[in-house]
C-alpha cells in the first residue's frame, strides 16, 4: 500500500487508503482514507505501524487525524475526526479535492508490486 502526501494550509499530510487491491490488473481504490500528519523523521517502522493499525477501532499513532469516507464520490463525503486535532472544514474540503484528483487519475498512484 502506497500513501500519498500533500500539503494543506502549511501542514504536510499523509493519506493511507484502508484497502488497495488489483482487479484484472487494474488498481481498485478504496472509499476510506486515513489522515496523518506527515512526520519528516518518519521511517519504515512508523509506516509499518500505521499500516498495521488501519483496521483497529482506535489508532495509537499520535499523528492520526481521522478518516474521510467517500460515500458517493463527487457528491457525499464523511469526515470522522479522531486523534489529537480535528481538521477544519476548509482542510477537509482541500483533502477531498486532493484525494479526488488521485482517484480520477489512478496512474498517479505509485503501486508497490
3-class SS string, 48-88: HHHHHCCCCCCCCCCCEEEEEEEEECCCEEEEEECCCCCCC
Cell (9 digits) for 93: 474540503
* Residue whose cell numbers read 501542514: 11
**pTM for the complete prediction?**
0.74
* Residue whose cell numbers read 519504515: 44
Tens place of pLDDT per residue across the chain (113 aa): 578 888 998 889 999 887 655 566 655 556 789 998 887 666 677 677 777 676 666 777 888 899 998 877 678 899 999 877 889 999 999 999 998 888 787 666 655 44
Indicate the domain borders of the chain. Answer: 4-105
Looking at the DSSP assignment, which residues form a beta bridge with residue 39? none
Which of 111, 109, 104, 95 is closest to 73 using CA atoms? 104
Amino acid at each position: 500500500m502506497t500513501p500519498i502526501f500533500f500539503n494543506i494550509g502549511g501542514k504536510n499530510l499523509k493519506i493511507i487508503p484502508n484497502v488497495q487491491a488489483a482487479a484484472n490488473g487494474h488498481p481498485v481504490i478504496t472509499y476510506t482514507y486515513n489522515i496523518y500528519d506527515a512526520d519528516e523523521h518518519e521511517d519504515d517502522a512508523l509506516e509499518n505501524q500505521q499500516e498495521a493499525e488501519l483496521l483497529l477501532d482506535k489508532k495509537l499513532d499520535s499523528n492520526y487525524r481521522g478518516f474521510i469516507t467517500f460515500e458517493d464520490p463527487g457528491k457525499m463525503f464523511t469526515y470522522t475526526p479522531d486523534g489529537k486535532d480535528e481538521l477544519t472544514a476548509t482542510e477537509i474540503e482541500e483533502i477531498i479535492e486532493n484525494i479526488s484528483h488521485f482517484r480520477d487519475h489512478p496512474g498517479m498512484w505509485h503501486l508497490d508490486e
